[in-house]
């Protein structure tokens, strides 16, 4: 063999070695994505005067009120602090968490888990922080106060935003129930716990179709609590399946299954996950609605990220590896198509999210919850020892 042949042979071996070790390549790309997420949220914590919500015209739209998404930004900062084991980052995370304090008594929305679980429960899990614990308990109480005994549901929004919201429930609420269970457990308040249990049971009964798809909204008669309409708010039409609602559902029921040690809730997590995966097929990023599956329709990377972390959770809790693998496949798909490693200073981590396509709001943008749940999925895959700090279970 000539020297040149040897060199070629050596190069060939190297290539073969790389090909023989795809797991290492896969891990590297996940680590790179995680590092990018850390760098971006730290940069944003330094430069932004208020909570980032969704990108528009190349930068974040901001809100001091924090809308329903401020907790996700804080949650990313806690993850960054835990991953880097850096007290300065944890201090930054805490100061952002404390900016949510005025919202803890907000009884006008179902979003209290979204706001206070990644921010205050996670912060308390990391550093046993009494003030954060107390805010999270208040948030759980505020949400439980919305429970309507006649009908056993929690209305999502406030009638001050529109009378049509008076008795309107949305499936996303299942993701907000863990903080109610957590607060009930912290305080020994059994009534609060029951309100979460009954709300989850109602969502299961009223929003889940026989095939595992979900109705985004269910309206009720405010006098009797009876169902008056099933349909959608952000989906394509009343009988379609809005992908982000389906993602919240599969993750939310999985978590409620764990918290309540309920096989029935876990079965709903599985059933809605199976529907999601069957509709997704070979794709890795879901369309914004499963009834709008054509190539020219916008995708929703945020739904993809929520489903991916939910599937990884489901896989861990049930021991069914197929769910973990499906979630991991989606994470890689998100990295391939929605992460721009070449422009680390660009605001937003995960591109191609869709907030609300029917209203043409936030289409093809980065969205705070997409970034947060994508980073959460990466942590579960690469740093599973941090699983226990993530939230209420």
Kind plus residue range of the DSSP H or E element containing 314: helix 301-318
Closer CB to ligand GLY, residue 125 or residue 176? 176
| Closest distance of CB 372 from ligand GLY, Å | 12
Closer CB to ligand GLY, residue 124 or residue 244? 244
| Closest distance of CB 183 from ligand GLY, Å | 21
Question: Which tokens belong to 147?
Answer: 């429970």
Question: Which tokens belong to 202?
Answer: 């109602």
Interface residues for ligand GLY in 218-237 (CB under 6 A)? 234
Closer CB to ligand GLY, residue 109 or residue 195? 109
What's the CA gap between 56 and 212, in Å, rounded? Answer: 34
Closer CB to ligand GLY, residue 172 or residue 313? 172
| Closest distance of CB 141 from ligand GLY, Å | 21
Interface residues for ligand GLY in 74-113 (CB under 6 A)? none
371 sits near ligand GLY (criterion: CB under 6 A): no
Strands (DSSP E) found in the chain: 51-56, 59-63, 168-170, 217-220, 227-231, 353-356, 361-365
What's the CA gap between 75 and 390, in Å, rounded? Answer: 8
**Looking at the DSSP assignment, which residues form a beta bridge with residue 356?**
361
| Closest distance of CB 244 from ligand GLY, Å | 5
What's the CA gap between 322 and 320, in Å, rounded? Answer: 6
Residues shown for the chain: 393
Closer CB to ligand GLY, residue 114 or residue 275? 114
| Closest distance of CB 234 from ligand GLY, Å | 6
207 sits near ligand GLY (criterion: CB under 6 A): no
Question: Which tokens belong to 109?
Answer: 């929305």
244 sits near ligand GLY (criterion: CB under 6 A): yes
Closer CB to ligand GLY, residue 55 or residue 234? 234
What's the CA gap between 150 and 312, in Å, rounded? Answer: 36
| Total binding residues toward ligand GLY, as defined by CB under 6 A | 3
Closer CB to ligand GLY, residue 82 or residue 156? 156
The per-residue DSSP string of 261-289 comes to: T-HHHHHHHHHHHHHHHHHHTT-SS-BSB
Interface residues for ligand GLY in 156-195 (CB under 6 A)? 172
| Site for ligand GLY, rule CB under 6 A | 172, 234, 244
């Amino acid at each position: 063999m000539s020297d040149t042949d040897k060199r070629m042979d050596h190069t060939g071996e190297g290539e073969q070695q790389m090909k023989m070790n795809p797991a290492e390549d896969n891990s590297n790309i996940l680590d790179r994505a995680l590092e990018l997420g850390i760098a971006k949220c730290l940069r944003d914590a330094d430069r932004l005067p208020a909570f980032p919500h969704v990108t528009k015209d190349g930068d974040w739209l901001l809100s001091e009120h924090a809308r329903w998404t401020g907790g996700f930004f804080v949650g990313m900062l806690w993850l960054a602090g835990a991953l880097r084991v850096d007290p300065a980052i944890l201090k930054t995370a805490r100061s952002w968490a404390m900016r949510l304090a005025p919202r803890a008594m907000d009884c006008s929305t179902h979003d209290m888990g979204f706001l206070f679980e990644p921010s205050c429960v996670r912060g308390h899990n990391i550093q046993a922080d009494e003030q954060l614990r107390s805010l999270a308990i208040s948030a759980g109480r505020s949400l439980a106060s919305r429970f309507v005994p006649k009908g056993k549901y929690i209305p999502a929004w406030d009638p001050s935003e529109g009378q049509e919201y008076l008795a309107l429930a949305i499936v996303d609420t299942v993701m907000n129930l863990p903080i109610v269970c957590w607060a009930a457990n912290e305080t020994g308040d059994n009534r609060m716990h029951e309100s979460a249990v009954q709300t989850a049971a109602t969502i299961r009964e009223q929003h889940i179709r026989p095939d595992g798809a979900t109705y985004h909204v269910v309206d009720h008669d405010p006098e009797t609590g009876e169902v008056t309409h099933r349909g959608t708010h952000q989906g394509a039409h009343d009988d379609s399946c809005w992908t982000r609602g389906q993602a919240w559902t599969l993750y939310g029921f999985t978590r409620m299954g764990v918290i309540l040690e309920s096989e029935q809730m876990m079965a709903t997590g599985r059933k809605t996950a199976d529907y999601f995966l069957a509709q997704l097929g070979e794709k890795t990023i879901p369309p914004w609605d499963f009834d709008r599956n054509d190539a020219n329709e916008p995708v929703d990377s945020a739904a993809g990220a929520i489903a991916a972390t939910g599937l990884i959770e489901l896989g861990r809790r049930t021991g069914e590896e197929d769910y973990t693998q499906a979630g991991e496949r989606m994470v890689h798909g998100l990295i391939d198509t929605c992460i721009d490693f070449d422009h680390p200073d660009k605001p937003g981590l995960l591109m191609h999210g869709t907030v609300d396509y029917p209203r043409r709001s936030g289409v093809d943008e980065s969205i705070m919850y997409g970034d947060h749940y994508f980073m959460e999925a990466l942590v579960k895959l690469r740093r599973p020892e941090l699983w226990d700090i993530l939230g209420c279970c």
